[in-house]
Structure 1
Amino acid sequence: MKKWAVSILTFTLVGGLLAGCGGAKTEPAGGSAPAASNGTAASGGSGASASLSGKKIALVTQLNIGTFSAQYIDGVKEQTEKLGGKVTVFNSENDLAKMSSNLDAAINQKFDGILIDHGTAEALEAGVKKALEKKIPVVAFDATLQVPGVTNLEQGDQKMAEQTLEQLAKDAGGKGNIVKIWVAGFAPMERRQLAYKAFQDKYKDIKEVAAFGAATNNTALDTQAQMEAILKKYPNKGDITAVWAAWDEFAKGASRAIQQAGRTEIKVYGIDMSDEELQLIQDPNSPWVASAAVDPKDIGRIQVRYLYQKLHGDTTPDTVVLEPVFVSREALPKDKAVSTDQLSQYVKGWGGSQQGYTDWLKELENSAKK
């Protein structure tokens, strides 16, 4: 996603993003660790401890809003600190020109490695090439960069969309009227839209009666206001069966509008999830009943692991696909609230991913503790 202060029009002017990296080498979730590219990289933990201690890592983000972004950054910091490094976050406040400048600043300040969170190829490609020329490794999350040498992480966006849309269709009995909340101009959104189009072709009796979406500084609040207007346009029970929201900030806003309007017959299906969203899904009075997501902390942790592999000289894949899980209210306990840290007790596959770990990384963690 994981994961926006300008309008769809602005993103169109900046340039739409391509949906995925064709022809790239891909490592699926749960794949084995890459082989070392040379004898030094294969030397093991003691050498890594000496050469990789105290690394300065830059995290250049497009925008930090919501608890998903906060937990993603927590994962980045946690894993880096476990490896004896330190993270500096450059928040670009959804200004792509500022993001480009932040990337240049990270290069000029001679950070040892750079992590990128979202952004466009148009804004970032020149800076990324400059970083690589200066031997600064780069690992990106949902940035659609197709620069040789950069490893790109993505969440399995089409699968997340398929999981939530299939559940929507099942719950609706294969027919009904739905609202889609989605925004163009972001790589994960474009991939999720591919699944949505396939869903429309498959379920002809499920009709889209409204579609909207804008990424702003107050996405959830703005979505709530837009959803309130749609509810007034379709005031009768049965006018709207469900809402499909392609981002957790969208789902939050729509859920609040529906709940406040007392339209409890409308169900919300979302994508992405953090502690705040999990609380809404557990609330029996909330219309948000299910979401598909990757643990945002895991995204940050895995991204750092691949960056350190690059720092170590290992060969890394061009694309790493993270495996999402489907979380429904039915799978959660009804007698107590749980956090994302506890979710693995109830939802198989959530959190604690070992993806990107190598034996020498674990040894480096142990050395950093001492």
Structure 2
Amino acid sequence: MKKISKISLSLLLAAVLVIIAACGNKNTTNNANSGAAESAAPSQDAASAAPSGDSDLASLKGKKVALVMQFNTGTFSAQYVEGVKEQVEKFGGKVQVFASDNDLVKMASNLDAAINQGYDGILLDHGQASALEAGAKKAVAKGIKVISFDSDLNVDGVTMLQQDDQKMADLTLEQLAKDTGGKGNIVKVWVAGFAPMERRQISYKAFQAKYPDIKEVAAFGNANNPQVDTQAQMKAILTKYPKPGQITAVWAAWDEFAKGAARAIQEAGRTDIKVYGIDMSDEDLQMIQDPNSPWIASAATDPKDIGRVQVRTLYKMLKGEQVDKTITLESVYVSRDQLPTDKKINTTELAQYVDGWGSSTQNYEDWMKELEAQN
């Protein structure tokens, strides 16, 4: 009995030691694994504090942008397209231009093509709601971001970009009134059916009421081949009113109209008529600088800036940021007496002489600088 008890005690002791050793090893292993896990993964607080900006910006790279234009006539449109392409490429995207040759049916078809081809964003240039509303709604329903410029499109989910058309008209018309002493005969070159033109017409009607001694002796305008058509029609009006003083000035609601009118007046040798326009391009600026040209002033927004702001607004939407339903672009007044007489300049250099030109930072966010740097 005694011998058996000693053996039993020895076995019991051995078993206890084995259990203690096993528990010690288990705790050591668990502690080691726990430490490794804590080292490999950040805490929940650290993870939530980690910046997500890089991943947000990465998602914006390689975006496909469609620019659907009602017309792409003249140097203003060319510089606007240049601004769009420049900003999209800086953001690492690609842009495709769909020109519609001033055909609204074709523009609607181009919009449908852009939707069906799976573009990430669509920029609309001019156009009318009657032609674009259905397509715009379809694009929004598919999650495509849409921004229109100078159109009357009012669709939920579509942001509208526009120039301050009434201000631009006011600037030129008030200067015309000042230069003529509030009296005289004028010609208006304008065309209906375009949202910016309709807004400019509001200011023109107010101008007529304010200055009853300034008489409109002729009014015309054609958006198809506008420069050549205006030149021909202005030539006919000058034949009808051949004497100095019969026409005091021309107010042109578009730079393409101003170019045509100015060329007709200059060819006729009429130095008694001044031209006031709206919009500005390199070609326009050269004409305004020419001391022999009747075109002496224009109110405008830098066309490249228009394109840049439209693209920036699109990328804000692509990033999920809120933007205003309507965005109004800033404009300036440019007259010959502001410009150098010893050299010709282009619109890139215009900022040296006209405050506010070509320096718009509208909708230019800090993260966009980073996105540009990455590309």
TM-score range, shorter chain: 0.7 to 0.9
Instruction: Say whether residues 1:356 and 2:371 are aligned partners.
Output: no
CA contact (8 A) 1:180 1:208 kept: yes
DSSP 3-state at the match of 1:52: coil
CA contact (8 A) 1:48 1:360 kept: no
DSSP 3-state at the match of 1:232: helix
Per-residue CA distance 1:177-228 (angstroms, 9 max, x = gap): 0000000000000000000000001011110011011111x21011000000
DSSP 3-state at the match of 1:128: helix
DSSP 3-state at the match of 2:59: helix
2:138 is aligned to 130
Distance 2:94 2:255 in 1: 29
1:29 is aligned to none
1:311 is aligned to 318
Instruction: Say whether residues 1:256 and 2:259 are aligned partners.
Output: no
Residue type at the aligned position of 1:88: Q
Distance 2:52 2:296 in 1: 46
CA contact (8 A) 1:248 1:277 kept: yes
Per-residue CA distance 1:10-37 (angstroms, 9 max, x = gap): xxxxxxxxxxxxxxxxxxxxxxxxxxxx
2:98 is aligned to 90
Distance 2:56 2:182 in 1: 55
Superposed displacement of residue 47, structure 1: 2.3
Per-residue CA distance 1:248-291 (angstroms, 9 max, x = gap): 00000000000000011100000001000000000000000000
Superposed displacement of residue 44, structure 1: 6.3
Residue type at the aligned position of 1:118: H
Residue type at the aligned position of 1:105: A
Change (3 A) 1:102 1:76: same
Per-residue CA distance 1:119-148 (angstroms, 9 max, x = gap): 010100110111111100001101111111
1:64 is aligned to 72
Instruction: Say whether residues 1:233 and 2:240 are aligned partners.
Output: yes
Number of corresponding residues: 326
Distance 2:226 2:208 in 1: 26
Distance 1:78 1:86 in 2: 10
1:293 is aligned to 300
Residue type at the aligned position of 2:69: T
Distance 2:366 2:315 in 1: 13
1:23 is aligned to none
1:107 is aligned to 115
1:161 is aligned to 169
Query: What is the percent sequence identity of the aligned residues?
Result: 70
Superposed displacement of residue 100, structure 1: 0.6
1:173 is aligned to 181
Instruction: Say whether residues 1:245 and 2:214 are aligned partners.
Output: no
Distance 2:329 2:237 in 1: 34
DSSP 3-state at the match of 1:54: coil
Greater RCO, CA 8 A, separation 6+: 1
DSSP 3-state at the match of 2:65: strand
Structure 1 residues not aligned, in runs of 5+: 1-39
TM-score, normalization by structure 2: 0.86
1:274 is aligned to 281
DSSP 3-state at the match of 1:347: coil
Instruction: Say whether residues 1:202 and 2:206 are aligned partners.
Output: no
Superposed displacement of residue 352, structure 1: 2.0
Distance 1:171 1:268 in 2: 11
Structure number with larger C-alpha Rg: 2
TM-score, normalization by structure 1: 0.87
CA contact (8 A) 1:291 1:328 kept: yes
